[in-house]
Structure 1
Amino acid sequence: MILPQYDGRCGWYEVLNDVSVFPALEGNVNVDTVVVGGGFVGCAAARRLAENQPDGSFLLIEALKVGQGASGRNSGFVIDQPHKRDLESNDNELKRKLLSLNCTAIDYLETQIDRYSIDCQWSHAGKYQAAVGARGQKFLDHYEQLLKGFGEQYQKLSRQELQSIFGTDFYSAAIFTPGGTLMQPAALMRGLADNMPENVRIAEHTAVTRITRTGDGFVLETDQACIKCRQVVLGTNIFTAELGFMRDRILPVMTFASMTKPLTDDQLERYGGQLDWGITPADHAGTTLRMTQDRRIIVRNSYRYAHDYNTPGELLPGVRQRHQQAFDARYPQLKDVKFEYTWGGASSLSGNFETYFGEIEPGIFLSCCDQSVGAARGTISGMMLADMACGKKTQLLADMIEVSGAPSKLPPKPLLRVGVPLRMAAARFASRSEV
């Protein structure tokens, strides 16, 4: 059985101060509901369960520490818009529901950030989608038409306008959409965990190795504990298949990011742009770029089929070199700036681009195949799984069910291990001018 491993390289997590401790679970435990996985799905589900049933008992289990997994490794976007694939749908009502669900997730997160004063660089900075050359411009033009068709607010910016924001003339054009937010993901996850309701117990370094159905519920086994419960909520991302669910349905894909140290005053002057922005590439195989509030620049590109789920350390030097090349191309005036951290983060895709949400077996609730938009989608999924588990029927839950689907069955793993890398290599070659 493959379990999550922490490589000690995730910059978002490593720069945190005074991380709290939630001891590993030991012995026999009885609770109403167990939530497995301390990411966006798990944290939202645990909180919502406690809100729905203040007299209930809930346990949130994380194999690592909260913030070390996929939710603490993304680029720090919480995006309000439907994914571009969804924007291409002709069903405007479906897109409106997706937008409403994502906005509900953003509001839910912001309520907790404000209530508990969570310091996670939360900012209504919006998002830029940018093109480098002619290939990227074609994708950007297509994106603009999708936004127009959906009636979304946006602003198109020229190379000159972008230079004053990003400190580089590398990008030929970009589209700015104001609805999304930026944040420090590991800090957000730690803040959510540290401020859980009193009837939610958290156990870190507690990996579930087996789930067994009993006459009145379930038994979950870990190395040091045996847990009995009535219901289970799974927020286990790509590791869901290791527990026996969604086998041959989840395609695990890993992307890589590198983070600089905070720019010095001299480097910031040479940079010449603004703080607190985020770029996603018009060409999906291009480069994501972030400038944080604390002066760090983050580059994300490079992909792999994550058949082994965790980050192979031997790949990181080559990845960091590619990130440095992308950085130097954008910021030749900052040749002295090098990366402090390089890491990989996994997301779960499906062959037909459908997400899964619902009760996969009686008493077991699951959300997976987030299609690389896990912050908002994961949060609203966790909230709605909790409502479903509690028998709470709302319009949001009905909408969530409607926008979800059935991920298709994937080819056998030997074929995937050959076919997926080849397809990624072809995409890298085609998109080389946008990286």
Structure 2
Amino acid sequence: MSKTVNLPHDDASCGWYAALPAAQPATRLQGEQRADYAVIGAGFAGLAAARRLAEHHPEARILLVDAQRVAQGASGRNSGFVIDLPHKFALEHPDPAHKQRLLALNRAAIAQLQGLIQAHGIDCQWSHAGKYQGAVGPRGMAYLEHFEKLMKDLGEPFDWVERGALAKVLGTGHYSGAIYTPGCYLMQPAALVSGLGRSLPDNVELLEESPIQRLERDGQGGWILHGSAGRIRTARLLLGTSIFTQEFGYLRNRLLPVMTFASWTRPLTDSELQVYGGQLDWGLTPADHAGTTVRMTQDRRLIIRNTYKHVPKYGKSTSDAMRESVRSDHRKAFLARFPQLANVPFSHTWGGVYAISRNFTNFFGELEPGVFASACDNGVGAAWGTISGTLLADLAVGADSAQLRDIQAVTGMPSLNPPEPFLGLGVRSRIRLAAWNSRSEL
């Protein structure tokens, strides 16, 4: 394979990453390197895969390589939810066993992350806060009633929270009601991913700011990974590259690159916190999936996330003007909820790219002999990336388990996309239609 890949091009305005202490200088790929295993992508999936490989083979040399710094990419840009429940679309799956497998896998990921946070003292605002799914008006309440039925079918606990009680938590009477589910954890994603990167086993070498620009077969059953200042020869290659998997020639025309955007405030002052009147450390996702996600962090920042864009050129599909427009929309959503905080500015607005598929199917498995991938998290990357990366390493070393069989049972092949320009027209039209239909919930 000689195709040159398109690289990440994320904006430099992610609030989560900006809030971290200054990072130590990066170790970059230089010269000729040999590894027993190479992992591309140091997000949740790649970090978990490298760690598990090291546990299986502590004598092996494992190289984990990323085009950016750890936490600069998608894994450090999400809204900080680690959700145990199957995603909205997966909740509608007709097979109860399918949903129970997803639930068990997500909970295994949460337990794994919690263990690592405790073992390595990772300061990332980790909290068993649960999650609210909120409705603004009749459209959202209809979605909540449907969600209630799905939760009953799943046999999972939940609580209805009426407007008055909800306002005491959120500091706003904007919502008609919500369903609270207790299994979600909240965190600072860039801090968590950065901490996972700093605490890798000794036989994992992390190479940052080292984009792999080309893959080549070595003629002996292995691979050569070409960077700008060096290359890696390896017998086994694991891809934790999400949407960028298609840049290496795999799952082409099966993944859709979508970017969602968030803005957050600076930390509220003591007087602003009194005016706000709600609690710290909560998260709310919209009952209508095209609505607005809202969070209040432990360090007093309010976050607004909505707006979806089809980004065929990833970060290069965006512009400063686009982000300013998104920021303006976020401001309207913020003021609708917190008019008492009209003088509190946003300090950062950022986007993050993730992969979805038309059939909402995650890929997990061996792409060809010696090449393994977990790709397409369909927007729920923290838990899924962690458990899929872990089990991908199991698959690569031939370690069988009930969990491995479970993830193989719930994954498959993302469906083919129509060709351009029909794909772009269709995706953009669907996003616009969803935003219009959901305008009362934004």
Q: TM class by shorter-chain length?
A: over 0.9
1:171-182 alignment runs, 5 A limit: 171-182=175-186
C-alpha deviation, 1:210, in angstroms = 1.0
Retained in 1: the 8 A contact 2:10–2:351? Answer: no
Determine if contact 1:219/1:227 at 8 Å carries over to the other structure: yes
TM-score when normalising by structure 1: 0.99
Within 2, Cα distance between the matches of 1:16 and 1:337? 22
* Contact residue 239 and residue 309 of structure 1 kept, 8 A: no
Partners of 2:289 and 2:308 in 1: how far apart? Answer: 11
Q: Contact 2:215–2:226 at 8 Å: present in 1 too?
A: yes
Partner-residue secondary structure (3-state), 2:358: coil
For residue 162 of structure 1, the aligned residue among 151, 162, 166 is 166
Which of 143, 149, 171 aligns to 2:153? It is: 149
Is 1:412–2:412 an aligned residue pair?
no
Match of 1:380 among 387, 401, 409: 387
- Structure 2 residue aligned with 1:98: 102
Alignment of 1:306-325 (within 5 A): 306-310=311-315, 311-325=318-332
Partner of 2:361: 354
- The CA distance in 2 between the partners of 1:206 and 1:251, in whole Å, is 25
- Pairwise CA distance, 1:419: 1.6
Q: CA deviation at 1:212?
A: 1.2
1:197 to 194, 201, 212: 201
1:342 aligns with 2:362: no
Task: Tell me how large the CA RMSD over aligned residues is.
Answer: 0.8
CA deviation map 1:253-301 (0-9, x unaligned): 1100001100001110000000000000000000000000000001000
Q: Residue 13 of structure 2 is aligned with which of 9, 13, 16?
A: 9
Deviation at 1:73, TM superposition (A): 0.4
Q: Paired residue for 2:40, among 36, 51, 58?
A: 36
Candidates 139, 143, 148, aligned match of 2:143:
139
User: AA paired with 2:354?
Assistant: S
For 1:59 and 1:3, the matched residues in 2 are separated by 19
Contact 1:238 1:309 in 2 (8 A): no
Listed one character per residue, the Cα deviations across residues 229-257 of structure 1 (whole Å, up to 9, x for unaligned) are: 01000011111111111110000111000
1:266 maps to what in 2? 271
| Equivalent in the alignment of 2:50 | 46
Distance (whole Å) between structure 1 residues aligned to residue 424 and residue 10 of structure 2: 23
Q: Distance in 2 between matches of 1:378 and 1:108?
A: 12
**Equivalent-residue separation in structure 2 for 1:413 and 1:164 (angstroms):** 49
What CA deviation, in whole Å up to 9, does each residue of 1:197-219 have, x standing for no partner?
00000000000111112213111
User: Percent identity, aligned pairs only?
Assistant: 52
Alignment map for 1:424-435 (pairs within 5 Å): 424-435=431-442
Q: Give the number of equivalent residue pairs.
A: 435
Q: Which residue of 2 aligns with 1:221?
A: 226
For residues 232 and 354 of structure 2, the distance between their equivalents in structure 1, rounded to whole angstroms, comes to 28
Secondary structure of the residue aligned to 2:314 is coil
| SS of structure 2 residue aligned to 1:47 | helix
After the TM superposition, which of the residue ranges 81-90 and 123-132 deviates more from structure 2?
Answer: 81-90
Partner residue in 1 for 2:401: 394
Distance 1:385 1:312 in 2: 35
Preserved CA contact (<8 Å) 1:254 1:346: yes
Equivalent in 93, 105, 119 of residue 123 of structure 2: 119
For residues 404 and 411 of structure 1, the distance between their equivalents in structure 2, rounded to whole angstroms, comes to 22
Aligned-partner residue type, residue 81 of structure 1: L
Counterpart amino acid of residue 289 in structure 1: V
Q: Which residue of 1 aligns with 2:62?
A: 58
Q: Counterpart in 2 of 1:23?
A: 27
What is the aligned counterpart of 2:292 among 265, 287, 292? Answer: 287
8 Å Cα contact 2:11-2:351 kept in structure 1: no
Task: State the one-letter code of the partner of 1:304.
Answer: K
Residue 346 of structure 1, CA deviation: 1.1
2:307 is aligned to: 302
1:365 aligns with 2:372: yes
Counterpart contact for 1:19–1:190, Cα < 8 Å = no
Do 2:216 and 2:224's aligned partners in 1 also have CA atoms closer than 8 Å? yes
**C-alpha contact 2:355 2:378 (8 A) present in aligned 1:** yes
Of 213-222 and 424-433, the range deviating more from structure 2: 213-222
CA displacement, residues 91-112 of structure 1 (integer Å, 9 cap, x when unaligned): 1111111111001101111111
Task: Give the AA of the match of 2:158.
Answer: Y
State how far apart, in whole Å, the 1-side matches of 2:124 and 2:34 are: 34
Aligned residue for 1:175, secondary structure, equals strand
Find runs of 4+ consecutive structure 1 residues off by over 6 angstroms: none
- Rounded to whole Å, the distance in 2 between the matches of 1:122 and 1:19 is 21
Letter in 2 for 1:366: A
Corresponding residue number in structure 1 for 2:82:
78
Asked if the contact 1:271/1:331 (under 8 Å) is kept, the reply is yes
Instruction: Give the aligned residue type for 2:20.
Output: L
Q: TM-score, normalised by structure 2?
A: 0.97
1:176 Cα shift? 0.5
Q: CA deviation at 1:68?
A: 0.4
97, 109, 114: which one aligns with 1:110: 114
Name the CA distance, whole Å, in 1 between partners of 2:138 and 2:251.
40
